[in-house]
Amino acid sequence: MEISMIIYAVTLAENLNFSLAAERLFIAQPTLSQQIRKLESELGFPIFLRNTKSVKLTPAGDIFIKEARNLVFAYQRLKYACDEINHTLKDSVSLGMSIITLPLITADIIFFMDQFPNIKLNIVECWDEEAKQLVASGALDAAIVLFADYEDQSDFSITPLSKSYMCISVSPNHHLAKKESVALKDFADERMIFACERSGLKHQLMREFNKTGFDPQKWQFISATEARVPLVLKKNAITFTMHNNVEWSVGTQIVNIPIEPRMYRTCTLCVNSKKTPLLPTKHLIEVFTQRYLYSGNTVQ
């Protein structure tokens, strides 16, 4: 069993779509299918149930993927540790972020690269919770992540960048589309789509549902935005976004409606509070701090 096969399986589990998973892995779809079959043969049980219309985890596959994610995380930590040993990161910054936060800071990343062309910026795509763990462990120099107000930040030195609130995203023909705002009870029985099981939006939303006595049971995970949009437009489901990250819905007719009372998340640049940042990381912090300070977008 090779680590690449495990990474393929975890990526497919995140997407539940062979085409999208192969695209993220930069391999051909037949190669991905072949590797998954080979892995299942070695394991002695199927990880996925697939037909021409869908891909789902088997009960055994669900258990396997949960453990496989831990192995992939450990492998990434080992890779970065080896890189540090070989001094390949001494003039570089490893910055973690998710596909959700990337659109919010693209201009800032370009500015940093223009200001410091000799510093190699290694961008690592990962979900917020994983990025926080990698920063806390020292495997990443820094990360751009979203924090809810209730989340523990004691392991990090935080530079707040912007604050945003959560919206539901629905079809223009959905019965909620004409509302100026919605309460949790308005969509508690709707089918909900989240990017993945580890989505910070999902955990914050479920926390609020539990506080108010609701127990939603209908949700699914689809990481690719282009796969979520058709389901939302057909009124088969709703999804969620932050109010300052709605570019993905432009041109789709999707309607984004604030949730009341508002549920805030703060976009932050975070580094390990127990580790003195190296000079390249300090430059990154300085650039982001100054850009948001002068733009007036920083959190007060």
Whole-angstrom Cα distance, residue 84 to residue 261?
45
Terminal-residue alpha carbon distance, the chain: 50
Mean pLDDT, range 88-104, rounded to an integer: 77
CATH code of 87-144+269-295, in short, is: 3.40.190.10
Task: Count Cβ atoms below 10 Å from residue 243 Cβ, excluding itself.
Answer: 15
Look at residue 252 in the predicted model and tell me its pLDDT: 87
- CA pair distance 146, 80, nearest whole angstrom: 23
- Indicate the pLDDT class of residue 297, thresholds 50, 70 and 90: very low
pLDDT bin (cut points 50, 70, 90) of residue 85 is low
Q: Check residue 299 and give its pLDDT.
A: 40
Q: What is the mean pLDDT of residues 49-74?
A: 90
Tokens of 97: 């972020």
Domain-by-domain residue ranges, the chain? 3-81, 87-144+269-295, 163-264
Nearest to 14 by CA among 174, 190, 196, 148: 196
Q: Distance (Å, rounded) from C-alpha 216 to C-alpha 233?
A: 21
CA–CA separation, 168 and 239 (whole Å): 6
User: What pLDDT score was predicted for residue 300?
Assistant: 36
Write the pLDDT tens digit of every residue in 119-148: 889 999 888 888 999 999 999 999 999 898
Whole-number pLDDT of residue 51: 85
Residue 295 has pLDDT above 70, yes or no: no
- Alpha-carbon distance of 230 to 236, in angstroms, equals 9
Architecture of the domain delimited by 163-264: 3-Layer(aba) Sandwich (3.40)
The domain defined by 3-81 folds into: Arc Repressor Mutant, subunit A (1.10.10)
More confident call, 186 vs 89: 186
| CB < 8 Å & 24+ apart, contacts of 220-223 | 220/191, 220/192, 220/193, 220/194, 221/14, 221/16, 221/193, 221/194, 221/195, 221/196, 221/197, 222/15, 222/16, 222/17, 222/193, 222/194, 222/195, 223/14, 223/15, 223/20, 223/99, 223/195, 223/196
Residue 125 phi, psi (nearest 5): -80, 120
pLDDT digits (tens, 9 = 90+) for 187-209: 999 999 998 888 888 889 999 99
Confidence of residue 116 (pLDDT cuts 50, 70, 90): confident
Angle at 31 between CA 30 and CA 37, to 5 degrees: 90
pLDDT at 99: 73
pLDDT at 262 over 90: yes
Burial class (CB in 10 A: 0-12, 13-18, 19+), 106: exposed
Domains 3-81 and 87-144+269-295 share a fold: no
